[in-house]
Amino acid sequence: MPTAIATRWIEACAADEIDEEDVIRFDEGDRTFAIYRSPDDTYFATDGLCTHEKVHLADGLVMDNIIECPKHNGRFDYTTGKAKGAPVCVDLKTYPVRVEGGKVLIGLD
C-alpha cells in the first residue's frame, strides 16, 4: 500500500502579481520554482530551472500552455511538465497549486 505524502502548502505570491500568459520566479529556501498564469486564468507551478541547462524559466516566454526557456528555446508544457523536444529531453516536475484569498499557494512534498 503506498505511503501518503503530506503536502505542505506555501504562499508563493499574490494572484494579481502574475500577468495573464506569464510566469514569475519564486524561491523557497534553496529551491526555486516557476509560477504560471495561463491565458484562461489558471495557475500552475513547476520547478524553476530548465532541465537542460538549469536556466531560470521565469525569464522565458509563456505561449498558451507552453513555457519556452530563454537560453536555448527548449519548450515544456507547464500544465503537465512534459518536455516538448530537443534541446529539452527531461520533463519538468510540476506542483499542485490553489488560489485562496487572492494568494497563490503551491503544494510541496
Partner 1 sequence: MTAQDFSADYQKRDYSLVGFETQRAIERGLATAQWYQCPIGRKELKELMRRSDGPALRDAAIWFGALALSGLGGWYFWGTWACVPFFLVYGVLYGSASDSRWHECGHRTAFKTTWMNDVVYAIACFMILREPTVWRWSHTRHHTDTIIVGRDPEIAVPRPPDILGLVLNIFALKSAWSLAKKLALHVQGKLDPEEATFIPEMERPKVFREARIMTAIFLGVALWCVAIGSILPAMFIGLPSIYGGFMTIFFGLTQHAGLDEDVLDHRLNSRTIYMNPVFRFLYLNMNYHVEHHMFPMVPYHALPRLHAAIKDDCPTPYASCWDAYKEIIPALLRQRREPGWYVKRQLPSHVAPLDVGAAGTVAAE
**Residue 19: half-sphere exposure toward Cβ, Cα within 13 Å:** 7
Among 12, 36, 46, 75, binds partner 1 (CB under 8 A): 75
Q: Does 80 bind partner 1 (CB under 8 A)?
A: no
Residue 103: which H helix or E strand, with range?
Answer: strand 103-108
Among 8, 31, 42, 73, binds partner 1 (CB under 8 A): 73
Looking at the Cβ atoms of 65 and 105, the one nearer to partner 1 is: 65
Stretch that binds partner 1, among 8-16, 28-36, 46-54, 101-109 (CB under 8 A): 46-54
Give the Cα separation of 40 and 26 in Å (integer). Answer: 21
Contact pick of 15, 38, 87, 107 for partner 1 (by CB under 8 A): 87
Sign of CA dihedral 47, 52, 54, 60: negative
Q: Is position 61 an interface residue for partner 1 (rule: CB under 8 A)? A: yes
